[in-house]
Each structure stands twice: as structure tokens, then as C-alpha cells.
Amino acid sequence: MTQKILNTVLFVDNDPVFRKVFRSVINTSENNFLKAGNSAEAIELLNREKVDLVILDIIAPEVSGFEVLGWLKDSLFLKNTPVFAVSALEDRQGIGRALQMGAQDFMYKPITSQWDRTVISLKVKNALHLKNIQDLLEHNLKQADKLCLKDDVTSLYNYRYFRERLYEEFLRSRRYDSPMSLIVIDLDNLKSINDHFGHPIGTRVISMVGTIIQKHCRSADIPVRYGGDEFCIIAPEVDLEQAIIPAERLREEIEGLGKGLEFGDISLTASLGIATQNAVSVFKSEEDLLKSADDSCYEAKKSGRNCVYCYQKEEFVPAQSLDI
């Protein structure tokens, strides 16, 4: 059974008689109602609550209806909220101005005839229906954007997003003379695990490692599945000494994961490489930074795996040898 959507209607007016008649016209069981007596109250409610339709009095001077319309028009997130301008029958100039400022429709008061009631009921029903469709489309687009940027196995960011953010963070680091570290993580012996236990097991291992990486990242970090069994972490505002700490913790936890999974003679570990952009190490481009981090990871592989290597002063050195 489909759950019925409950919409919220905001009255911006000081006319209790009109509100009572209006609420009798539309289906109150499908709508919540809020009231604001002036523009300040209306803006506060719009910032705090999810409002699907605004019924806005434009003739009451204490309400300042046009101020609310102007604010909604300038609001990035609320400018598509439908507004019905309400005025007296003879106020055609005010209604015209409201429509020019972005009101979707209008109604006159008082509501007297059955025809008025029927028209208002249909207008509100149609406006809320369109708003619900728009909200659903926006939600689906946001979900699609997330899927386009995320790896489906680990839920970490994917290679495409990595390239964009690496470029942006590298430029920001150069512009503001702030440090930035890049950590490359390469799983050891995953190919052997795939060969002996099957690719579904290997995929499960990748997913579990992704969870470990996410756990050790700050909110400002950008964890990425770089491809296959390789991962990266872009760490803005992090110097080499600061980057080594989570890198070593990651290495130790992945090693512990491998021991717990019991792959026999095959040891699941990780080799990690770190390169840092700072006042001492200034790279010409983000590609140079990535190559240095990747080469550091390769040196860790050559040196026996399950260790962390760093690029420092144009050399590749084990993290444990550094005095930090």
C-alpha cells in the first residue's frame, strides 16, 4: 500500500475567517497547516519547516507579502516553493505584481460561492501534486548523482570524482600555502585470494577494506577506490607526520582483518605510500603528487609489503624510520 504524502501549507496572513473557510475547502486530512502573521515569522518558518505551498496575503500592510515573495525568489533552495497570492477582488494591480515576482497563482477573498470553493480546491490539489512530483524528481537526481560518484562495491568515491577533487585540492593547497597529503593503499595478495577462493570472496574483502578506510577518515578527507585493489585518501590540511598516523593504523587493521579471515598461507595485508605537498615538497602538478605517492607505495611493495613508505626530500623512506 502506497503511503500518502502529507503536505504542509503555510498561511501568511492575519485573517482567521479566511483561514477557516480555506481549510474547509481543501482536504485537511492530507495537509498540515502553519500560520505566520508577518514576513519575519514567515521567513523563519520557511527556513525551519518543509513547506509545500504558501498562501500569501498581499493586501494586509502588517504582513508584507511582497517582502516574502522577494525573499523566496532570491532563495537558492526555496525559490520553487509554490505561492498563491491572495487579495481583494478589485486589486488587479497587486495580483499582477505578485505574479511578476514569482507567485504561481492567485485567489480573491472573500470566498463566497460554491464555484470559488471548487476552483480553489482544484488549484491547491494541482499545485501540491506538481510540488510532490518535483520533490521526487529532485530526490532521484540527488541519488543518481551520488551513484555516479560512488564505487558500488565499497561506497567510497570513484576514480572520476578522485580526479576532480585531487585537482581542486592541489590547487587550493598551492594557492593558500597549506599542506595536503595523498595516501595510496594497495592490497597485498588479493590476486592470490581471488585465484584460490574465488572473485566473490575477493570482492567481499574489498568491501570490508573500504569500510575500514572510511572509519579512519576525517569528514574533510576524500576516500577513494582508485581501481581494482588500490585505494587513495586525499587528506587536505594534513602534513606528512599527521598522515603517517592513520596510514599505520590502516595497515595494522587490514593486517588484523587478514588474520581473522584465515586464508591459510595467503596473507592479506596492505602496502601504503604517502606524498605530501607542503613548503618543503612543492610539486609542479597533481600528477606529480600522485606519481610520488604511487611510487612510494611501489617501494613499500618491493621492501616486503605490509609497510608504509613516504616520499620525502626526493627519496622514498619507510615511515617507521622517520623521527616523528
pLDDT in tens, 153-175: 999 999 989 999 999 999 999 88
Give the separation between CA 31 and CA 131, rounded to whole angstroms.
13
Q: How many helices (H) and strands (E) does the chain have?
A: 10, 11
C-alpha grid cell, residue 285: 602538478
Give the separation between CA 159 and CA 171, rounded to whole angstroms.
18
Q: How many CB atoms lie within 10 A of CB 275?
A: 28
Mean pLDDT, the chain, as a whole number?
A: 90
C-alpha grid cell, residue 196: 584460490
pLDDT surpasses 90 at 48: no
Supply the angle between the helices 159-176 and 114-149 in degrees, to the nearest 10: 80
Check if the beta carbon of residue 270 is closer than 8 Å to that of residue 187: yes
Give the separation between CA 80 and CA 76, rounded to whole angstroms.
9
The pLDDT value given to residue 233: 98
- Core vs surface per residue 194-207: b (16+ CB within 10 A) or e: beebeeeebeebbb
**Structure pTM?**
0.61
Contacts of 285 (CB under 8 A, 6+ apart): 170
Kindly state the helix (H) or strand (E) to which residue 243 belongs, with its residue range: helix 240-261
Eight-state DSSP code of residue 6: P
pLDDT in tens, 190-209: 999 999 999 999 999 999 99
Write the CA distances from 82 to 9, 38, 132, 144, integer angstroms.
10, 18, 11, 25
> Which domains, ranges and CATH numbers included, belong to the chain?
7-149 (3.40.50.2300), 159-321 (3.30.70.270)
The pLDDT value given to residue 323: 67
Give the separation between CA 187 and CA 229, rounded to whole angstroms.
6
Write the CA distances from 46 to 52, 75, 182, integer angstroms.
10, 10, 42
Question: What's the rounded mean pLDDT across residues 303-309?
Answer: 96
The pLDDT value given to residue 279: 74
- Higher-confidence residue of 247 and 282: namely 247
Question: What's the rounded mean pLDDT across residues 181-194?
Answer: 96
**pLDDT tier, 1 (very low <50, low <70, confident <90, very high otherwise):** very low
Kindly state the helix (H) or strand (E) to which residue 22 belongs, with its residue range: helix 16-25
pLDDT surpasses 80 at 102: yes
Q: How many CB atoms lie within 10 A of CB 26?
A: 21
Give the separation between CA 270 and CA 257, rounded to whole angstroms.
11
Give the separation between CA 275 and CA 244, rounded to whole angstroms.
10
Closest CA to 156 of 202, 215, 201, 198: 215
Question: What's the rounded mean pLDDT across residues 307-312?
Answer: 96
Closest CA to 304 of 255, 253, 238: 255
What stretches of the chain adopt beta strand conformation (E)? 7-12, 31-36, 53-57, 83-88, 105-109, 180-188, 222-227, 230-236, 269-277, 308-312, 315-318
